[in-house]
Amino acid sequence: MASSSSLPPQQDGERDGLRRVGVDGDTLLVVARAGALHPVDASLAELLAAGRDALHDAMDRALGAPPLEGPTTLLAPVDAQEVWASGVTYRRSANARVEESSVGDVYELVYDADRPELFLKATALRVPPPGAPLRIRADSGWDVPEPELALMLDAAAQVVGYLVADDVSSRSIEGANPLYLPQAKIYDDALGLSGTIVLARDAPGVRSAGIELEIRRDGEVLFAGSTSVSEMKRSFEEIVAALFAELSHPAGAVLLTGTGVVPPDDVTLRDGDEVRIAIDGVGVLRHDIYQQTAGAHVQDAHH
């Protein structure tokens, strides 16, 4: 019997692949296939540590076993993986950051440099479940979503799958000084990931996939834009190699690949806005935006 669970409405367009779900207080890794959820006999961290072939073998074994019965809860698609990000990988992003910054030439230097920009976006415990509301900082007046393709990497730096990501950012804080980037990018509820890890072997066209962003306010479209992964200046292999050059990831890692869709300067997120990001062949991420006053406690962890 197929699982009676369903993805929340924020996640329309999810495809078959790997998901982490909660079942009666336990956490399981499952293979989603044709509406059924088949339990995997290992955790995501264990499979990413063992490598791509071991992950594929475990998925094939799972599909030979009966699917789950009863309700499940969709969880964040990470267990022990850090989430890193690469910036200034698209010309549009480089231009926007030059325009917003008091020292814009540093972004031109990064765009043209051999070494890519990398930064830690979130630890696994800081990743909310798919579709959970994301937050804009109370001390920022200019905030945007950043739609990005995310790479799921095994411990050997192989791309094993893909996710949709929103790297919510404060343009005002980063624009004041590039050294403020951690505060502009890294805070509670500043990252969204879709719920299904679509395997790289099942998505051969991702390197030319379209990426769409839509922001809605009070039921109306405030901004809509699109780009293509093919517009990236840097290759997947280049930014992955930089991430693993001097840093091990024994449980694998997630790497955001940068954004090529930047709203105009007069657009900033507000409390109650709705964001939709779609990537061809990978899925759709929908979430609301919330803001709390300075000093207020942010929402509880979602795990």
Please tell me what DSSP assigns to residue 273.
-
Stronger pLDDT, 88 or 277, i.e. the higher one: 277
Q: Model pTM?
A: 0.89
pLDDT at 303 over 90: no
pLDDT at 106 over 90: no
Residue with tokens 């094939």: 60
Which residues make Cβ contacts (< 8 Å) with residue 140, sequence separation at least 6? Answer: 170, 172, 173, 184
Q: Using CB atoms within 10 Å of the CB of residue 222, give its burial: 0 to 12 exposed, 13 to 18 middle, 19+ buried.
A: middle
Instruction: Determine the pLDDT at residue 47.
Output: 98
Whole-angstrom distance, CA of residue 135 vs CA of residue 167: 11
Residue 291 pairs in a beta bridge with: 136
pLDDT at 108 over 60: yes
Residue 149 pairs in a beta bridge with: 164
| Per-chain mean pLDDT for the chain | 89
Contact 260, 227 (CB under 8 A): yes
Instruction: Determine the pLDDT at residue 91.
Output: 66
Average pLDDT, stretch 121-133?
97
- At 49 the three-state DSSP class reads helix
Residue 192 pairs in a beta bridge with: 166
Instruction: Determine the pLDDT at residue 3.
Output: 36
pLDDT at 111 over 60: yes
- At 96 the three-state DSSP class reads helix
pLDDT in tens, 30-45: 999 999 999 999 999 9
Confidence at 109, pLDDT banded by 50, 70, 90? confident
- At 54 the three-state DSSP class reads helix
pLDDT at 295 over 70: no
In our burial notation (b when 16+ CB lie closer than 10 A, e otherwise), range 95-114 reads bbbbebbeebeebeebbeee
8-12: which pairs have CB atoms within 8 A and are 24 or more residues apart? 8/74, 8/130, 8/131, 9/131, 9/286, 10/130, 10/131, 10/285, 10/286, 10/287, 11/74, 11/130, 11/131, 11/194, 11/195, 11/283, 11/284, 11/285, 11/286, 12/284, 12/286
Count the alpha carbons within 13 Å of 101 in the hemisphere toward its beta carbon: 19
Residue with tokens 């044709």: 34
Strand duo 191-193 + 159-167: pairing: antiparallel
Instruction: Determine the pLDDT at residue 162.
Output: 98
pLDDT in tens, 178-214: 899 999 999 999 999 999 999 999 999 999 999 999 9
Confidence at 103, pLDDT banded by 50, 70, 90? low
User: What is the token pair recorded at 268?
Assistant: 């900033």
E-assigned strand segments in the chain: 17-23, 26-33, 36-39, 73-74, 82-87, 117-122, 134-136, 143-144, 147-153, 159-167, 169-170, 191-193, 198-199, 210-217, 220-228, 253-256, 274-279, 283-291
pLDDT in tens, 245-280: 999 999 999 999 999 999 999 999 999 999 999 999
Contact 112, 242 (CB under 8 A): no
To the nearest whole percent, how much of the chain has pLDDT over 90?
Answer: 80
Contact 229, 208 (CB under 8 A): yes
Stronger pLDDT, 94 or 86, i.e. the higher one: 86
To the nearest whole percent, how much of the chain has pLDDT over 70?
Answer: 87
Specify the DSSP element, H or E, that contains 247: none
Q: Which of 58, 125, 147, 140 is nearest to 300 (CA)?
A: 125
List the Cα angle 90/176/170 in 5-degree steps: 60
